[in-house]
Amino acid sequence: MKTLLNRLRESSDHLERESATKVDTLFPNYEVMESAYLIKIRNEDGNWRYDTSPQLEEIGMSHYAILKSFNYINISRPQISVGDSNQRYKNIYFHFGLIFDTVENMARNIVLTGSQLRIREFKNKVKKSNKDLLAEFQKYVETRYEKAFSDMIKYGRPIFYHPQYPINFISILITEKDFKTEYRNFEKSIRDYRNFYIHKPAMDIAINKETSQLFALKKEYINIDEYRYWSYIRKSIEVQLNPHHFDNPISIVEEDLNRCLSLLNVIYGYFLKEMEGISKAVGYEALLRNFDRDSYDFQEHQS
């Protein structure tokens, strides 16, 4: 059975083949994870098995979604332009956000699988009463669900709502404090940059009319008050004010993509270590094959 990455390697599109090369070079643990553990939860036709546990299926689907977002970013990068009706630059950073959400969801299901197999335990403080859960859900429905549902329909963004457990499952698996800080700082910088462009509809790529060179505001300058206004950004480019505040948007994406791949390669190293323990645990085969989803009570196994 071909791995997901092999499909890109054999693509007729040279940008998709380039995506595979980037992952091979900067994120080799991606295919190690699939070859060692996730290919086992797929049928011969490549679809996920219907008789594996929901948590293992979620791990596989998250793994696949990460590659899809990376590929979108890479093939969209050279198409960035001024006045792009498809808003590729904004959508690229939207997909970076999807990657972070999906990696967290993957970590969540790896931790929950370990808990099912009793090789990892949660601290009691993360558990909440039914009353608290209902109150949180009501608040979520009233304030956030409508937008989450709209984003799912419009952008294909999955809805992740897990109030019973901490939202930061990656931190449960990562033990090295400095790396954890590095990853979180990078994630925050990307999310802030994404929000800057997505929530300011007028923001766009700028161009030097004399040289046709493209410009985008760098992450470290998005909080300058004047840059809340597109007219100020255009003026800065036209008269060459503060040129060090800007860079070629294609170069910005390339740098962020390469760094993201490298960081996730380290995170996948922690995932692989956890999956090794999971695969050797008593009861793993029962989660992998002939799993009865209808009769399994996950909350009972958490008590």
Alpha helices in the chain (DSSP H): 4-9, 14-26, 29-36, 54-76, 88-116, 130-140, 146-155, 170-173, 177-198, 230-238, 249-280, 284-288, 298-302
CA separation for the pair 207, 233 (Å, rounded) = 10
pLDDT over threshold 90, residue 268: yes
Name the token pair of 39: 């290919």
Structural contact between residues 157 and 147, judged by C-beta atoms closer than 8 angstroms = no
Structure tokens at 181: 């800080």
Q: Which residues contact 241 (CB under 8 A, 6 or more apart)?
A: 235
Rounded Cα distance between 77 and 92, Å, is 8
Q: Please check the confidence at residue 72 and state whether its pLDDT lies above 90.
A: yes
Output the pTM of the full model: 0.82
Contact 19, 75 (CB under 8 A): yes
Q: Which residues contact 12 (CB under 8 A, 6 or more apart)?
A: none
Say if CB 67 and CB 96 are below 8 A apart.
no
Q: Which residues contact 173 (CB under 8 A, 6 or more apart)?
A: 107, 110, 111, 267, 270, 271, 274
Amino acid identity for residue 261 in this structure: L
- Give the three-class secondary structure for 58: helix
Tell me what the mean pLDDT of segment 224-237 comes to: 80
What is the distance between the alpha carbons of residues 27 and 31, in angstroms, rounded to a whole number? 8
Tell me the per-residue pLDDT of 92-115, one tens digit each, with 9 for 90 and over.
Answer: 999 999 999 999 999 999 998 998
Per residue in 130-189, pLDDT (tens digit) is 677 677 777 777 787 888 777 766 655 666 665 655 557 898 899 899 999 999 999 999
Residues contacting 288, CB < 8 A, separation 6+? 40, 41, 52, 53, 56
Is the CB of residue 205 less than 8 Å from the CB of residue 80? yes
Residue 3: other Cβ atoms inside 10 A: 18
pLDDT at 150 (0 to 100) = 79
pLDDT for residue 239 is more than 80: no
Kindly state the tokens that stand for 254: 């390339």
